[in-house]
Amino acid sequence: MEKLLFELTRLGIVPVRLTNENEVYLEVSPADFKPACLALHKLLRSTVMLMFAEDRRSSEGTFTIRAGFIGTKQRRWFFVEQKVPGPAFGSIAKEIYSANLFEREIKEMFGLEPEGNPDGRRLRLHDEVWSGGYPLRKDFESAVSGPIGNYPFMPVEGEGVFEVPVGPVHAGIIGPGHFRFSVAGEPIINLESRFGFTHRGVEKMLEGRDAASAAKLSECVAGDAAFSHSLAYCRGVERACGIAVPTRGDYLRGIFLELERLYNHVADVGTIALDVGFSFPAAEASVIKENLQALNAELTGSRFLKHINLPGGVSRDLDQASVKNLLAQTAAATRDFRRLREILYASVSFLDRVETTGALSKKLAEDLGVIGLAGRASGVKLDLREVFPGVYDGLKVVFREKGDVLARLEVRLDEFEESVRQIERLAARLPEGAIAGDEVTVGSGQALGWAESWRGPVLYWLRFTDGKLERAKIVDPSFHNWTGLSAAVLDNIVPDFPVCNKSFNLSYAGNDL
């Protein structure tokens, strides 16, 4: 930490503000923004975890733009903050690629031009239906639909090169996303994806809400990570307003977070097998997944673990019998899961399909800012449960180096075991006491809340003013990782795309917000 601060001082970046124990804000002038970001990016070896603007024109007369980095050694979040009065700000995307999508987002939501960002296209508000207005500005009134435009995909030309459009309507039960393949025969030479079809304006909807109703909305951002999202949100509220959570509540949150990981990891193992036509283990996996979701329903009343998190704690307690049931069922699921694992490893035809398929190198993963599960499969060892342990004890971070479909599968296989181990530990040490604070008063403040969902870090940056949300920035790991998928499928053949896609299993809704 001292060394870091020294380095920053040497660069002339002095004003440092420390809030909420582990959030460090560096307020810099627009001219210093890029050097400060570059310094943090280099010193912390962190991608841009989040970057967002805030409309502060009514109180300060300017927009504020923050870029957030994580210091895994320092166990702190670092934000570089600049005030932007005008219609433009300096882009950092050419130097730090992971800022690219965030800058495009700021451009379309706030109308601030990232000067120097080579990609001027829209991100979520499609030209076909949207002509004007910047939704996240405070003076925004309503959406305007415009004439049908065209989205320029990157053209790939050459003899025998074809463009194959797939989606946004897909044959399976998945979200909508458009994939534009450029293929030369079967090999994929370029893949561009386009999203925004499930854009609901969540961040705008959150503005002006009170803490409790916003918690409900946060569960709907990405259905399969409902608990992680509400957890990240609630932690944000608690940190912003100094609300204490009883220890038992914290432990229960840990258990539920791991339960969410369990059912999602099993489901993915099954669908990876199904996508290579290996239907037997897929059927096995669907049985295990069903058992786990039925367990969720038994314990909490919700198969997707919704309606549990509240600012200040949780709403569902586990009594002695429930804990016993939980341990028995997870042990049974582990036995079934190990058998599933054996079936997969015993099948040469299956391993032949997943090995070397969709490989994403560590270098590329780092450069593109791929994080979470997909990142760990490529050797990017970031797990927020390790950086900020909280109730976790001795968590083993699972990672692989190869970054292929098999690696992403193996990370899931091992994380399942680790999650069960953590559930057992948490259940064994479950302290007595209240599960939520008695009186939760939400005042004013700003903070970052986070949770390591099964997909990766879910981040909520929140500002409350007099109990109402003024700005909420949500980052689902999918937003970082879709780019990784486009890079991973290059040089693979078209029929292998579905299994590559399923091995990332990214959220459309979490990306589109």
Partner 1 sequence: MEYGEIIKILLMLAAAPLISGVISRIKNNLRLRRGPGIFQPYFNLAKLFKKEERFSEHSSWLMKVTPYIVLGSVLSAAVFMRAGDLILLTFVLSLGRFFLALAGLDPASPFGGFGSSREMFFAGFLEPIILLAVFASALSGGGAIEASSILAAAALFLATLAETSRVPVDNQETHLELTMVHEAMVLEYSGRSLALIELASYLKQAIFFTLIMLVLWPFLVSRIGWYLLSLLVLAVIVAFTEVSLAKMRLFRVVDFLFFAGILALLAVISAALGV
Q: Which residues are part of a known binding site?
A: 203, 474
> What distance in Å separates the CA atoms of residue 213 and residue 278, rounded to the nearest whole number?
43
Complex with partner 1: residue 492 or 507, whichever CB lies closer: 492
Which of 61, 147, 160, 172 binds partner 1 (CB under 8 A)? It is 172
User: Partners of 28 in the beta sheet?
Assistant: 82
In this structure, how many other beta carbons lie within 10 angstroms of the beta carbon of residue 54? 22
* Distances in whole angstroms, Cα of residue 115 to Cα of each of 89, 103, 110, 501: 6, 10, 14, 33
273 binds partner 1 (CB under 8 A): yes
* Residue 16: alpha-carbon gap to chain centroid: 27
Which residue type, as a one-letter code, is found at position 21?
E
Which of 25, 33, 278, 504 binds partner 1 (CB under 8 A)? It is 278
> What distance in Å separates the CA atoms of residue 260 and residue 254, rounded to the nearest whole number?
10
Which of 148, 171, 321, 428 binds partner 1 (CB under 8 A)? It is 171
Give residue for tokens 């280099």.
Answer: 42
* Minimum separation from the CB atom of position 162 to partner 1 (A): 8
347 binds partner 1 (CB under 8 A): yes
> What distance in Å separates the CA atoms of residue 231 and residue 165, rounded to the nearest whole number?
37
Complex with partner 1: residue 147 or 172, whichever CB lies closer: 172
> What distance in Å separates the CA atoms of residue 220 and residue 306, rounded to the nearest whole number?
9
In this structure, how many other beta carbons lie within 10 angstroms of the beta carbon of residue 69? 26
- Point out which span in 16-24, 228-236, 277-285, 413-421 binds partner 1 (CB under 8 A): 277-285
328 binds partner 1 (CB under 8 A): no
162 binds partner 1 (CB under 8 A): yes
* Distances in whole angstroms, Cα of residue 374 to Cα of each of 369, 383, 419, 495: 11, 11, 17, 21
Q: Two tokens at 257?
A: 């977070």
Complex with partner 1: residue 336 or 417, whichever CB lies closer: 336
Nearest to 229 by CA among 444, 25, 472: 472
> What distance in Å separates the CA atoms of residue 206 and residue 218, rounded to the nearest whole number?
9
Complex with partner 1: residue 150 or 349, whichever CB lies closer: 349
Q: Two tokens at 30?
A: 């627009």
Which of 210, 342, 352, 401 binds partner 1 (CB under 8 A)? It is 352
* Minimum separation from the CB atom of position 44 to partner 1 (A): 39
* Minimum separation from the CB atom of position 455 to partner 1 (A): 21
145 binds partner 1 (CB under 8 A): no
Where do the H-state alpha helices sit in 83-132? 100-110
* Minimum separation from the CB atom of position 9 to partner 1 (A): 54
504 binds partner 1 (CB under 8 A): no
* Minimum separation from the CB atom of position 333 to partner 1 (A): 16
Nearest to 295 by CA among 321, 270, 329: 329
155 binds partner 1 (CB under 8 A): no
Give residue for tokens 């569902």.
Answer: 316
* Minimum separation from the CB atom of position 195 to partner 1 (A): 18
Contacts with partner 1 by CB under 8 A: the residue count is 30
* Minimum separation from the CB atom of position 464 to partner 1 (A): 45
Helix, strand or coil, per DSSP, at residue 176: coil
Binding-site positions for Mg(2+):
203, 474
496 binds partner 1 (CB under 8 A): yes
DSSP secondary structure of 311-351: TTEES----HHHHHHHHHHHHHHHHHHHHHHHHHHH-HHHH
* Site mask for partner 1 (CB under 8 A), range 185-214, x = bound: xx----------------------------
Complex with partner 1: residue 186 or 210, whichever CB lies closer: 186
- Point out which span in 99-107, 205-213, 245-253, 268-276 binds partner 1 (CB under 8 A): 268-276
* Site mask for partner 1 (CB under 8 A), range 285-304, x = bound: --x-----------------
Nearest to 474 by CA among 178, 236, 290, 238: 236
> What distance in Å separates the CA atoms of residue 14 and residue 263, rounded to the nearest whole number?
46
Nearest to 357 by CA among 492, 169, 157: 492
* Minimum separation from the CB atom of position 172 to partner 1 (A): 5
129 binds partner 1 (CB under 8 A): no
498 binds partner 1 (CB under 8 A): yes
- Point out which span in 218-226, 351-359, 364-372, 478-486 binds partner 1 (CB under 8 A): 351-359
Q: Contact positions toward partner 1, by CB under 8 A?
A: 162, 164-166, 171-172, 185-186, 273, 275-280, 283-284, 287, 347, 349-350, 352-353, 357, 493-498
